[in-house]
A and B are shown apart, each in its own frame.
Chain A
Amino acid sequence: MKKIFFLFIFLLSISIFSQENIFTTILIPKELTENANSVVRNQKIDVEIFSKKNMTIKKYKVVTVLNSKGLGNIDAIEYYDKSTSVKSIEAIIYNSFGKEIKKIKRKDFIDQSVADGFSVYSDDRKLFLDYIPIEYPFTIVYTSELETSNTAFLPKWLPLDDFYESIENSSITIKYMSGLGFKYKEKNFNNYNISKQQDLNQITYRAVNIVAQKREELSPSFKNIYPSVLFGLDFFSLEGVEGNATTWEEFGKWRYKSLLSDNEEVSIQTQNAIRELVKDADSPIEKAKRIYEYVQNKTRYVSIQVGIGGWKPMLVSDVDRLGYGDCKALTNYTRVLLKTVGVNSYYTVVYGGEEKISFETDFVSMQGNHIILALPVATGYIFLECTSQTSPFGFNGNFTDDRYALIVKPEGGEIVKTTNYNDSKNKQIISGTYTIDATGNLSGFIQIKSSGIQYDVVYPIEKKSNEDKESYYKNRFSWIKNLKIKKINQLNDKEKIEFTEDVEMMAQSYATISNDLMIVPLNVFNRYVNIPQRYKERKNSFEVSRGFHDNDITQINFPNGYVIDGKFDNVIIESTFGKYKLMLDKENENFVLKREFILNNGVYDKSEYENYRKFMEQIAKSDNSKIILKKA
């Protein structure tokens, strides 16, 4: 007996010893601390799917935080609601020698409502740790266990989930009940050290030694360059509703049937009102336009996320009565109104955001974070943003443009790409004229017409105060010193989706006088000033996600009594990135400056980055070109 006891103690001490080894920070390989604010020493996620309606997620994460910027990578946070409970949560802090310095129990975690400022109300809550470190580096061991009846979303595995964080060891294991149609999709494994092990009803992925990544300008979205695995079920449960994700068609059918089909009732008064509204409209598009404007005038965007409300639109009759709703509610409301007057349109799920994030089209699952409405037309679809009270009919802007989305039709789902405003569809035309007087003062007039995303960026200025408008132009023409705005006229043409600005301005001493010379920066109205960041060694490919087409023509009147002493040489730059032209011509005694800049959309290899930077640098420099005048 004694012997056994001894052995037991011995084993115990070994395990303690090895544990301390993990928690000491001195043993972290040097390459993992390079550019890193934190190091994931060991992360294990264990997911067990017992049934369609029962899943547990256990997390174990050991992170060494090297400095205060790495605090954000502890990720000691769990969200819960009526269908998800936090069964346990705790953390232990070790100093750099592996000595325990603090134990944090559940009651020391902060329990808070998920009030994101965006939602008016949400019943989701979060439990999170707010630890104030007393020294760096330190290591935290975080464990948690969640139980949920929702299986529509399985955890996604992102071994690397942030910049400036390296990974020593990270794994995920999913055990699943058979017959639920378990599936997975691997992304961007390319050069990373990732292994997979598959057994009966079980799958494990493991990543080791991934060095910290730096954030670089113009990088494609995180999920398109770094490794991840998506998991999902063909047959799942969402807030008590059973679902099917075998194909997009089936998934769409399910979504329509369970979340939309029983919510199409609208009051007789409203029915009559909208029938009256469209009675002399001669086409479905005209009807849709009138109803879209009706909704824009009647409703406003308010977010309410309660229970299945996170997925199911609030009642059409409530939206009708209350005049507000979130994206689901307002889109569905518009859809039902259109249906009432015999126009078909479809609830469409998309990822909203300036970054163009697409649906994973080959992985059928709950995706997206925003809803818009698709209106079928001869050429495809027109997409309506129903949460905006000001957006023109059929205009997506940079929030939902050019990405894959899911259209939910009663007969089944369909993946489509939303409208793009690339290159020449994203246009700005400037026609201007300016005069320089003998003292170097400038007076000028400019007309700017913007369409596409350029429209989207500029049209909200229409509603701003005069003071704000003046400040806006002073910022926009920041290179003109002493700028005074004399007159502003703006026209928002929602039919053409074009914004026109007429601006009259003046600036004292715009040109500088040096003895008998006068130096005039020629390009008064449109200069490109953002030169991309230089990197000694670019790591990632880069992306120009929204190209544009600018075309400027400016008439110039130089002061009398001066002749040209020297001028820049006309510039023409052509490359894979786009085209740029700047030329000064003389037309009937007048000088005309012509500028054209076309920037192409595209994803490019990192080796092209320096060329792209030079291309932009050249343009910025040309835009600053000057002419020297001499007293005759």
Chain B
Amino acid sequence: MKYPLLVVLFLTTNLLFSQKRELGKVTIEELKEKYHPIDSLAPAAILFQTGKTTFQYSQEEGFYLVTEVEVKIKIYTKEGYEFANEAIQFYVGGNEKESVDFSKAFTYNLVGDKVEKTKLKGENEFIENVNKFWSVKKITMPNVREGSIIEYKYEIKSPYYSVFPEWKFQKSIPVKFSQYETNIPEYFTYNVYRKGSLIPVESKSKEGKTISITNKDLVRSGAAIKYERTNESINYTVEKVVYTLENLKALNDESFVNNIENYTAGLQHELSGKKMPNSMFESFSLTWEDVVKNIYKNDNFGEQLNITNYFENDIKGFINDQDKVNKIFEFVKTRMNWNGLYGYNCDEGVKKAYQNKTGNVADINLMLVAMLKYANVDADPVLISTRSNGIPLFPSRTAFNYVIVRVNNNEKSYFLDATDKNAMINILPLRDLNWNGRLVKNDGYSEMLDLMPQFISNDVVTVLAKIENESEISGQTREQYFAYNAYNYRNKYRKLNKESIVENVEKKFDGLEINDYEVTNVESLNEPVIEKYAFVNKNEIEKIGNKILFSPLMHFKADKNPFLVEKREYPIDFSFPFKDKYSISIAVPDGYEVAFLPETITLSMDNNYGVFSYIINSSANQIQLVVNFEINVSIVPAEDYVMLKEFFDRMIQKQNEKVILLKK
């Protein structure tokens, strides 16, 4: 009876041993594995990825950062071949350059019952000079087949230790084991930012280190002056932190996701302070207040708000205007042309940008703040992180990448962004709508502000229609687009001629025929866009025997639910709250009577997320339908996904229900 226990023990140790995460230890079992044990359709999987960032010292360059990464990947299918190519970007734009080196790169295959090992050679490595700032080192692993295991190591050397390379635990394929280790000398303190919902296991330890420095000093010995070499040793402690996550699922993108990167498990490190021997502590950023103060202090930010001489003459006329906020905003929007570059620091400076009529985000929006302040409006910059930059959860300089404007006027506050010609007061480009921003005042005060629109953007549709020839519905539509709906309309159609707009609208409504199309207020941004047209819908009416069937929402009904998956991991992002209202009246053709009307209903979601109401009535020769669809929040959390999906299912079902007319 004693034996089995022994065997078990022996097996376990063996198992532990084979789990060792080192390069060059590829087993036949690993090569034989045909599919991923958990995600059987995964094209490839990361068996392990370990990263280690350390500081090294050279007397010439001081401290620099070395990040070593070792990766072992299993390729299951041909679809996974793309993971046999790797590309690492490095910065070459400054005086000091980064470098990337690949080593220990091998492809392992099972040939018969033997492990065949193919080395990556120089011919499989390429450097591409992307532009004057960035280069990319690319490798293409040789001899890759289904079942191959590939391994490589790379080392990034960087003089820029203010930020570590971001560590991403999660990938688009499953990751069995991911570990990142940082070794930080006592002289530096870093802020550590965690992304995603998974919390890595942490372990910390300390060890001592020594640097030897050779000094060449001028020494006076008697009358002679000579160089003398002295050796000096400096001892310091290094804190080692190891972060580990295991068995991570592959990450998939879905519809209505803000930015999938927000939900990817990862770590970022940013330098917050430095204290070198014999010098004062130098703080970089610790709190949001510190971050903001640092940004404000910069000449390319705070200073830019105080320069006014370049525009004074041009905006004189607006200063005493009742509507000066709007006038100045329009003035900047019209004059300035955004060059597509983000950033909260000015590129050229407001003055030069003003002269050139073009600039980056900061050039344009800080200029707007300066003008508004000059006109005695309470205006301040707001630092934000755009959707593409992800959600800033921790204080850091890189948390922000953009700046907009907040105005406080008559006890109301508004956001402005003059980089987009279609933007309005409180209607920001969608890239700006990303959770919170940070208002900055010149006295260093800062405050968090919710950027997500709180107001509802309406869309009001009125239709008068009749059924003709027992085969088509024709009528008149008037649609009014408010707020973000108007913004979206202008973004899409402002530059198109009428003919192209009509073609687009016909396409949107699946082959609807549109005539007498008219649109007003496209150029008057403060008014709702109003669209009017006559239509003929030839697809909706169906005649079966002595009955006519049609959905009274006609081409306005949704055909399918945008939410397909049964479960969801990420919040649903609608960008802005909205309300669509349809008032439709349809004349019943002569000789017919209403045999059936769908039921009047109201659907609503918990937490007041949204409502759908469908109210239908008929008189002798008219059918009246009023439909309201509102989503009252910008973001619905993932845990309410099932409710949301169900709501959409039932709503779309209702929209597709038919009225039945019977021949008298």
Contacts and interface: CB of A to CB of B under 8 A. Distances in A.
A627 interface: yes
Interface string A529-572: 10111111000000000000000000000000000011110000
Contacts of A613: 511
B321 to A, nearest CB: 24
A478 interface: yes
Contacts of B339: 132
A205 to B, nearest CB: 31
A516 B463 CA distance: 30
A628 B79 contact: no
A566 B511 contact: no
A482 B118 CA distance: 52
A157 interface: no
30 contacts: A35-B497, A112-B131, A113-B128, A113-B129, A113-B130, A115-B128, A121-B126, A121-B128, A297-B145, A300-B84, A302-B140, A304-B126, A318-B123, A324-B140, A324-B144, A463-B79, A465-B252, A467-B252, A470-B564, A474-B560, A475-B564, A479-B559, A512-B657, A529-B510, A534-B506, A534-B511, A566-B546, A567-B545, A621-B539, A628-B545
B596 interface: yes
Nearest to A110: B131
A72 B273 CA distance: 47
Contacts of A479: 559-560
Contacts of A105: none
Interface string A472-492: 001100110110000000000
Nearest to A216: B503
B551 to A, nearest CB: 10
Contacts of A135: 337, 357
B312 to A, nearest CB: 21
Contact of A626 (B81, B495, B542, B657): B542
Contact of A323 (B145, B510, B596): B145
A531 B564 CA distance: 24
Interface in B120-159: 123-124, 126, 128-132, 136, 138, 140, 142-146
A135 B337 CA distance: 8
A122 B538 CA distance: 53
B142 A322 contact: yes
Interface string B54-89: 000000000000000000000001110100110000
A482 B645 CA distance: 10
A515 to B, nearest CB: 6
Dominant SS at the A interface?
Answer: mixed
A486 B503 CA distance: 40
Interface stretch (B386-394, B437-445, B648-656): B648-656
Interface residues of B, number: 70
Given A69-B495, A512-B657, A465 B39 contact: yes
A64 B499 CA distance: 22
Contact of B85 (A302, A321, A568): A302
B549 A626 contact: yes
Closest 4 CB pairs of A and B: A566-B545, A531-B511, A134-B357, A389-B78
Contact of B513 (A321, A534, A626): A534
B297 to A, nearest CB: 29
Nearest to A567: B544
Interface residues of A, number: 68
A112 B43 contact: no
Given A67-B495, A474-B564, A620-B539, A566 B81 contact: no
A120 B539 CA distance: 49
B507 interface: yes
A481 B500 CA distance: 32
Nearest to B512: A534
A304 B542 CA distance: 58
Contacts of A568: 542, 544
A15 interface: no
A321 B118 CA distance: 9
B658 interface: yes
B41 interface: yes
B143 A321 contact: yes
A324 B141 CA distance: 9
Nearest to B41: A465
A135 B334 CA distance: 9
A128 to B, nearest CB: 11
Nearest to B120: A322
A514 interface: yes
B224 interface: no
A463 B43 contact: yes
Interface in B534-560: 538-539, 542, 544-547, 549, 559-560
Contacts of B549: 519, 626, 628
B387 to A, nearest CB: 22
Interface string B455-467: 0000000000000
Contacts of B94: none
B138 A121 contact: yes
A535 B128 contact: no
B7 interface: no
Nearest to A481: B653
Interface string B107-124: 100000000001000011
Interface of A: 35, 67-69, 110-113, 115, 120-122, 132-135, 214, 297-298, 300, 302, 304, 318, 321-324, 389-390, 463-467, 470-471, 474-475, 478-479, 481-482, 509, 512, 514-515, 517, 519, 529, 531-536, 565-568, 613, 617, 620-621, 624-628
Contact of A68 (B132, B495, B499, B546): B495
Contacts of B660: 514, 517, 519
A628 B549 CA distance: 10
A470 B544 CA distance: 34
Interface string B11-51: 00000000000000000000000000001011100000000
B497 to A, nearest CB: 7
Contact of B652 (A112, A481, A529, A535): A481
Interface string B480-517: 00000000000000010101100100110011010000
Contacts of A321: 118, 142-143
A459 to B, nearest CB: 12
A201 to B, nearest CB: 41
Nearest to A388: B78
A163 B129 CA distance: 34
Given A120-B85, A321-B142, A463-B77, A481 B656 contact: yes
Given A35-B497, A617-B538, A112 B130 contact: yes
Nearest to B252: A467
Given A509-B653, A533-B506, A534-B513, 12 more contacts: A122-B128, A132-B339, A133-B337, A298-B143, A324-B142, A389-B81, A464-B41, A481-B652, A531-B539, A617-B511, A617-B538, A628-B544
Contact of B596 (A214, A475, A517, A535): A517
B565 interface: yes
B124 to A, nearest CB: 7
Nearest to B39: A465
B503 A533 contact: yes
B356 A134 contact: yes
Contacts of B598: 514
B559 A478 contact: yes
A531 B539 CA distance: 10
Contact of A519 (B513, B653, B658): B658
B272 interface: no
Contact of B358 (A132, A322, A323, A565): A132
B222 interface: no
A140 to B, nearest CB: 15
Contact of A390 (B78, B132, B138, B652): B78
Nearest to A515: B596
Contacts of B247: none
Contacts of B138: 120-121
A534 B43 contact: no
B41 A466 contact: yes
A115 B130 contact: yes
Contacts of A466: 41
